[in-house]
Chain A
Amino acid sequence: MANEKKFYLTKEGLERLKKEYKELKKFRLAKTKGEVPRLWHSEDLNPEYLSFQEDLNFLESRIQELEYVLKNAELIKNPLKNRQNIVDLGATVTLEEPDGHINEFMVVGTLEANPSEGKISSDSPVGKTLLGHRVGEEVIITSPIKVVYKIKKIRYNLS
C-alpha cells in the first residue's frame, strides 16, 4: 500500500527487532503448549518478554506490531560520499555553541530513538531542525527560546 508508514532502522535495530519477533513467536508456541520457562528465575533475564508472559492478547498484539514494522522496514544506509556532509538519518552530528560547548546527537528513526543514549528521532523538533543542514551551517534548535549551534561535524558510521 502506498500510504503505509515506513520504519527507518539501522542494521542493528532491524536485527534486534527480527530477533525479538522470532523469539516471541517461539515463546507463543511454548506458551500454548504450556512449556513456558520461568523467565524471572532465568540467569539470562530478558525483561522485554516478561510483560507478555501472562497476557496472550498482549503477546499477540506485539507480534502483529512487529510483523507490520518488519514488513515496512527501510534500512538506513550510509549516503553517497558527496552527501555525507548533509544531516540525514543515521548521521552523528557534532554541534558547537558560540561559547565553545560541544553537543552531539545521532539522528535515527522513531523506533530506535532514545535520547538517554544520545539517539534522537528524526520526528522530534531537534531532529527535524537538523535534517538537511550541512557542516558549517548555523541551526536554531529550540522554539520558545533560541539555542544557536554551528554544525561542526557530520559522521556516518553505519554498518
Chain B
Amino acid sequence: MKESLNFLIETHKLKKMPRTGWVLRGVENPETIGEHIFRVAFLSWLLADKKKLNTKEAIKIALSHDLCEVYAGDVTPFFYYLNLPKDQEKKKKLLMKWVRLSRKEKEKRGKKKLEMEKKAFLRLLKPLDQKTKQELFSAWFNYEKGVTYTGKFVKQLDKIETLIQAIEYFGPGKTPAMGWWEETEELIEDPLLLDFLKVIQKRFYGKKIAKIKDQKELESVLDFILEIGKLKRLPRLYWNLRGVKNPESVAEHIFTLLLMAWVFGKEKKNLHMNKLLKMAICHELSAVYTGDTTPYDRILPADNQQREEVLKKMLRLSKKEKKWIFFADYREEKKAIEKLTKKLRPSLKKEILLLWREYRTKSSPEGYFLAQLNALAVLLQGILYEKEDKKFFVSPIWEWTFEFCDDPVAVELMEEIKKKFY
C-alpha cells in the first residue's frame, strides 16, 4: 500500500506537465500529459469496443502509455525538435512539418528514446510490488512494441487523439496541424481507424468522402470525443473556490481516479476491473455541460466573509438538505450525460449512463468502492495543495473521508496517507 501510494503521488507530476509539442508551438495554457491520457483512454474504450477488442486491455494500455514521462519528460519524437533554429522563419517552417530523417537515423534515435523511457518507467515502478509492476510495465511495453493487436490499436489512437487536439488548437489549413497529419498517416493502418481519419477530414477540412461503413457511428464518436475535450483545462471547482492557483482539471482528476481504480482495484477480488475502469472514466462526464460542481454550490452565501467561513469547514447539513442537494445535482447531471451520449450507439449510451448511475448512487460494489477512491483522490490532491500553500486547509476533506470511507482497502489507503503526511 505504501509503495502504491508513493507511485500515485509521483504520477501527480503528469498533471502539471504541459505537452512539449504545444509548448514549442506557442499554445497558451496547453493540455497536460494527464489530460491527454484521459482522452486517449476514452477513445480507446469506444473504438476498441467497436472493433470487438478487449476494452479492459485497451484502457490499461492507454493509461500506461505516457506514465514514463513522470521522469523522462515529454520528449519530442526522435528528439527532432530539440535544437530549433534561432531564425524565427526557419523555426516556424520546421515546426509545420513532421520528422525528415534517414531510416538509419530514425532507428537509432527511436531506440535511444525507447531505452530512455524504459529506464524512466522502471524507476517509477521500482517501489511497487512485483505483480503491479509487471502489469503496468507489460501494458506500456505492449503500447511501445505492439505485442498484441490491441497494443498496436491503442498506439494508433494515441496519434489520432493528438491529431484531433492539434486541429482543435491550430485549425485546419496551412497550420502546424499538418505535421500531425503526416505523422498519423505514417502510422494508421487499421481499416476502422483509416475510416475514422476520413471522418475527421470530412469534419474539419470539408472533404467529400465516399460513403464508408458505420460512418454515422464514427461521426458520433468524433462528436463525443470533441465534447469531452472540454474537460481538459476545466478547473475543479472545489479548488477554485478555495483559491488554489492553477488547480487540476476535471480530466486530470479522472486520470488520477482511473489509475487508482487500476492499482487499488486489484486488491478487490470481487470487483470487475473492466467495469471499474470504465466507471472511473465516466464518473464526472456530466461536467462537460454542468461545469464542475460541489455540494457547496447550491448553498453558498453571497456575503464574502460568510462564504469563506462556510468553505473552511465541511458542510453541516440536515438529512433533508443533503437529500435535496443530491437529487438536484443528480437530475442535472443525468440530463447532461443523456445529452452528451445522445448520438452514441444505443448499447454504449446505455452502458455509460448505467455506469455513471451506479457510481453516483453507489448501487453496485464497483460504484461503492469507486466513490470511496474518489474521496481519497480528492484528499490526496488536497494534501498536496496544502503542502504547497499553507493558506489552504485540507481538514474539511479529512472530515469527509473519515465519514465516507469504510471499505477495508480504502481505509488502509487512508491510514497510509495519514502515516505518510502526518
Contacts and interface: CB of A to CB of B under 8 A. Distances in A.
A interface SS class: mixed
Contacts of B73: none
Contacts of B142: 51
Given A40-B134, A50-B141, A51-B134, A147 B182 contact: yes
A120 B100 contact: no
A147 B97 CA distance: 10
A47 B173 CA distance: 42
B186 A124 contact: yes
Interface in B183-229: 183, 185-189, 194, 197, 201, 204-205, 207
A136 interface: no
Given A102-B100, A102-B102, A143 B185 contact: yes
Interface in A70-128: 92, 94, 97, 101-106, 110, 113-121, 123-127
A105 B186 contact: yes
Contacts of A50: 134, 137-138, 141
Contact of B148 (A62, A101, A116, A147): A62
A63 interface: no
Given A51-B134, A54-B131, A120 B186 contact: yes
A15 to B, nearest CB: 16
B188 A124 contact: yes
Contacts of A105: 103, 186
Interface stretch (B108-116, B270-278, B353-361): B108-116
Contacts of B2: none
A40 B136 CA distance: 13
A48 interface: yes
A116 B110 contact: yes
Given A51-B139, A124-B186, A127-B189, A103 B101 contact: yes
Nearest to B207: A144
Contacts of A147: 182
Contacts of B139: 51
Contacts of B312: none
Nearest to A121: B189
Interface in B106-139: 106-107, 110-111, 113-114, 130-131, 133-135, 137-139
Contact of A144 (B141, B187, B205): B205
Interface string B153-187: 00000000000000000001110001001110111
B154 to A, nearest CB: 14
A29 B188 CA distance: 37
A142 B185 contact: yes
Nearest to B140: A47
Contacts of A51: 134-135, 138-139, 141-142, 147
Interface in B86-114: 99-107, 110-111, 113-114
B134 A54 contact: yes
A47 B201 contact: no
B77 interface: yes
Contacts of B242: none
B189 A124 contact: yes
B145 interface: yes
A141 B143 CA distance: 26
Contact of B141 (A48, A113, A127, A141): A48
Contacts of B114: 116
Contacts of B188: 124-125
Contacts of B146: 113-114
Nearest to B133: A40
A117 B107 contact: yes
B102 A144 contact: no
Given A54-B131, A115-B187, A116-B113, A142 B103 contact: no
A124 B141 contact: no
B103 A104 contact: yes
A123 B149 CA distance: 15
B186 A145 contact: no
A54 B266 CA distance: 13
Contacts of B172: 144
Which of B113, B131, B181, B197 neighbours the largest number of chain A CB atoms within 10 Å of its CB?
A: B181
The 3 closest A-B pairs by CB, nearest first: A51-B138, A118-B106, A123-B189
Interface of A: 38, 40, 47-48, 50-51, 53-54, 62, 65, 92, 94, 97, 101-106, 110, 113-121, 123-127, 141-145, 147
8 contacts: A54-B131, A106-B103, A116-B113, A123-B189, A124-B185, A124-B187, A144-B201, A144-B204
Interface of B: 77-78, 99-107, 110-111, 113-114, 130-131, 133-135, 137-139, 141-142, 144-149, 152, 172-174, 178, 181-183, 185-189, 194, 197, 201, 204-205, 207
Given A51-B147, A142-B185, 15 more contacts: A40-B133, A47-B137, A50-B134, A62-B148, A94-B102, A113-B189, A114-B145, A114-B146, A117-B106, A118-B102, A120-B187, A124-B186, A127-B189, A143-B207, A145-B178
